[in-house]
Structure 1
């Protein structure tokens, strides 16, 4: 029977900012969640080191966190459209985490699971974007070390849909995370972290060495898997798979999928050579080779329109066509700075032409030689004058309108006004404001009455409303720590009158006003009440004592008795309970509340006069009265004391006189 354990992170707030919403993926090293950044109101991805690694991470926390932080800073500096952006980092419950851009799409692993394998043009398009991201990292001095389909995200194409992956946007994640963990492990335990064994480079298996060519090898294996539908090696144990990379050359894809172009075989072979010296030097060099192959195959496919054959296999086989791609059509990030357009034809030198002045003189002579030519010139001059006048008016005034007044409007009202004026709105980061309600326009650029091009854009800054802060929980902390936490929360700290407390030592926070969790504005005053420790007088045990004895004991200690009486089966004036409890601390003048017995409730004595003496005795004893018989026990009762219908305490003796 399977046992599912609830994920305790779901719904939690990390670092007071990121609300965990759902788990996206779970790997051997970390778990990825979607979260809401409650400060900027956007969806992000939070990758947190897996709790199963917690003992190792915490054991070497100093070394690990230092390296992890440095790697996070390096990754955050990688500004590239194919790199998953890193926004923040920190620790939660002692476990490091990264806050990253949330990419709406699927991993390449999920795509391959669904599709089996990809068309060559799709595989090359994905490889280009993947290598562009890794090349940016290599230029920054960073090695990924764990290139695999799980770390390649395929987002939906700008045109919508994912039926054709050529137009999809590819982003690479997890730069540096493997390196941070490996470096920490090597420093503390002498172990080495291997990338996923299906994609691991031979040098990483044999001596643990990694450089940009290590990523080149792993990228070649990913390309192999996209073309073939599986990785080159398999085995019962991970170590067996890892050593196959050391002992064998990666098979060429066409041996497994007949009909694949030879250029693809050569490309995979170049990237996956066992000797690092035989591979391209880094991802940028491999990217250049991939682009050349894609251009050559694309031109061949476009000219011949020949389709590569389909092959029967366990997975669905797509038609393998390589689309023609021209370098000029690539986005800027996909072209290396030194790359030149190989498809641009050389221009032949044009024959010598007459000079501009000579051509102009010839045209003037031809036009002015007859009346029609002169009229045509006059009409052209008039039309040209009109065009200049209209153009001057358009560029000087006609194409402009006046920006409407949007400040102080709500977001919905501003959008309605902008739509009415035919203008587009964009939004800057919102800001807190003490006076403006949430989603009210604080500023606009350009300002109202300023000129703006018709159909232009106005940038609005919206209000987040007054900044509201929950009073942090500082109970039980020293005043110094509590003060620092409150000041950090933008609150003003004041000291209240200290009080004695039996549980908290002197100098620790006993209470705060307003209470913990109360939402207040930034700059509000919070009064901190400290404990004076245990009070000097110990409250004695008074339960069971007579009230007079209890009064005397309290008076001797300087405490004040406050008495309340209640019915009880205990003897009259006996102490039934007390508050504060026995052993509590108190100061002189402290009131001690005592609960006092009023004694058992009174009972009524029945009439037994004129009854036989023995019968009367049995009746009274049955009601709990002790009986004293006088004179003749065998005679009739003539007198009783107490008399009939008297109310007396339980257990009161009744005397009967018989004769």
Structure 2
């Protein structure tokens, strides 16, 4: 009786947010579930690492979780339409998990299980999108390390036809996950090879190292499997399969599927060279070759296709495979070969059930053709022509259509565009980056690199410099010091607490001003001094306007403040306070200065002479100039005396006494 153990995670809520709804797949390292993000109300995929029962592994789990978290942060920054996006990461019951984009579709493994192998146009279409995703990772400094059909998701084509894979959307998953698990395995198992042996690159077997060319090799094996329906090597034990990648060249796909064009043999062969230096430098370089092969196959004429099929069918009778005895003298203990002299199992290709009838037909054709001199001459001419075509074609596809990328780094954008135009190259631009040394709009980097192989007229991707990064000082005036410090730190600036001063408006501890001022452009890491408020000052300035200077002095002295006096012309009485600073109601410290603006008094006028004038005439003259007049003795007499006397300067409105006799 079969017993199925219930999955305890189903229905669980991770981190109070992700509700597990169903299990999608279970692999060697992790299980994938569908879940509902209850915060954003969307369906996501949750990949959670399997628990382990080994006590020593549980003891090292904390270190693995830390590495897994670091990898998740790196992967989350990788944004590309052909990469399965990573939204979140965390731990549940001590096990790390990733929250990823949910892709509605199947893995490439499911497709190959159903279809066995794909047509060349379908295989190249899937490979193109797969390599575009891996190339984006390589540009970001990531190496996948585990490229295989299980990590390639094929979503339904936009046309809605599941049978048409050419227009399907392909996404690659598990970037960086293999490296985190491998680092953990290194500690626990002594450098165990953590890779799928059917797709492992030779240098990963012999030296345990991986770089972008390692992913290129694995992608070439995936392309081989899509074209032929099988992987190139198998064996009873994984280590035997791994070492076949080291010891043998990958066979041409057309030895298994005779109808395949030789351009695909060349493409797979270049991608799966045992020497990493002989492969394309990264996934971007291989992507360019795949795109060129797609174009070439699309433009091939029917005659060439038929001729190639006949040649491959003829070669099928005697398939060959190049075997090179390349083996290091010392191999790591984690990748031992079978015992010396032991057999190495390998898969033999099934015989063609129609081989005899095809051979008979070819033999009859050969007898008829070679039976006449003209036939023999035609065969010789055809052989020469085919040899020339094959040689020229091999030279063109292998060497002739390639050139080397020019050196564009450190040039200005205009110079790089001119140089690329002279070489017939097309330029694309990646996201620009800040750089402290390279001026703005100069080339920081290029892909492919200078002197690397590139198709003639191919595309070079340039990364331009934004120059030294410059930041405006954010407006933190009016904020609490801790909040202002956090905002400045987040803006890549260094906050420094400066002097404090009293302020009537802002409470103590609040930022009054910055130095440099808000909005000033500075470099990252620049210091910004924060001037803080001490709150309202203890002494309130009284209202002194309109008071006599002596009274104002007394009031200020009583408050412990110092008057600073200045005079100005005014119609107000002399020594009257006209203005003050600070204004009344302002807060100041004891001993602070209060500026007083005092009146010099009205401008003086000169008393005119009225002596010897008739008394009434003298009165009219004085009153016309604004003087009040006081007549004494005889109003109808003649003015004999005046006080103030003639030409005496007096304030306007001063009374003048006139004595008349």
Q: TM-score, normalised by structure 2?
A: 0.47
Q: TM-score, normalised by structure 1?
A: 0.47
